């Protein structure tokens, strides 16, 4: 017997609802499975505690009136939500149709008019290229100046 089936039958066993063969199969499983034994013990303890409860539970004054008022309030909330949701798909269907049409137009335009959507290619002018090269030289100049300083320090250390 598998634990899943045994755990379902434990409650029936406590209530004396199992037939002889079912009870024997469950007892055999319980001798082998510690987890199901623990489940049986916990469930038995819970039922023993509940059977020992002698105190009658008496609702407070006005409980039923408050309870049914809360039930009505929840029903009204749900009804208003359902009304909103029934209207929403109609709007969503219109919006979805419009979006699908717009997407189809954009895709078609992109396939047949590549120049219309693609940005124009811009090449740098010769002046811009020269400025960029001068900037690279300037950066290299700072490195070279620092190297000269380091070389001078090395000379000083050797002295």
63 found inside a domain: no
Residues 113 and 151 in one domain: no
Can you tell me the distance from the alpha carbon of 114 to that of 108, in angstroms, rounded to the nearest whole number? 10
Range of the domain at 42: 3-51
pTM: 0.36
Using the predicted structure, report yes or no on whether residue 10 has a pLDDT greater than 80: yes
Residues 12 and 47 in one domain: yes
Residues 106 and 75 in one domain: yes
56 found inside a domain: no
Looking at the structure of the chain, the number of domains it has is 3
Q: What is the mean pLDDT of residues 65-78?
A: 86
Residues 84 and 43 in one domain: no
Q: Give CA 28 to chain center in angstroms.
A: 43
Residues 131 and 117 in one domain: no
More confident residue, 159 or 28: 28
pLDDT of residue 157: 64
Using the predicted structure, report yes or no on whether residue 83 has a pLDDT greater than 90: no
Mean pLDDT lowest among 3-7, 10-14, 93-97:
93-97
Question: Helices in the chain by DSSP H: which ranges?
Answer: 3-14, 20-32, 34-51, 63-112, 114-117, 126-158
């Amino acid at each position: 017997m598998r634990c899943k089936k045994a755990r379902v039958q434990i409650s029936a066993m406590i209530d004396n609802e199992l037939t002889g063969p079912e009870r024997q199969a469950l007892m055999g499983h319980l001798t082998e499975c510690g987890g199901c034994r623990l489940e049986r013990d916990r469930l038995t303890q819970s039922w023993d505690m509940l059977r020992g409860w002698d105190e009658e539970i008496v609702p407070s004054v006005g409980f039923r009136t408050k309870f049914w008022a809360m039930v009505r309030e929840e029903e009204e909330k749900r009804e208003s939500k359902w009304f909103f949701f029934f209207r929403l798909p109609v709007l969503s269907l219109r919006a979805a149709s419009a979006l699908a049409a717009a997407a189809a137009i954009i895709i078609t335009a992109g396939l047949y008019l590549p120049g219309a959507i693609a940005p124009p290619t811009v090449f740098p002018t010769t002046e811009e290229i020269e400025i960029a090269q001068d900037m690279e030289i300037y950066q290299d100049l700072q490195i070279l100046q620092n190297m000269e300083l380091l070389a001078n320090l090395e000379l000083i250390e050797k002295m």
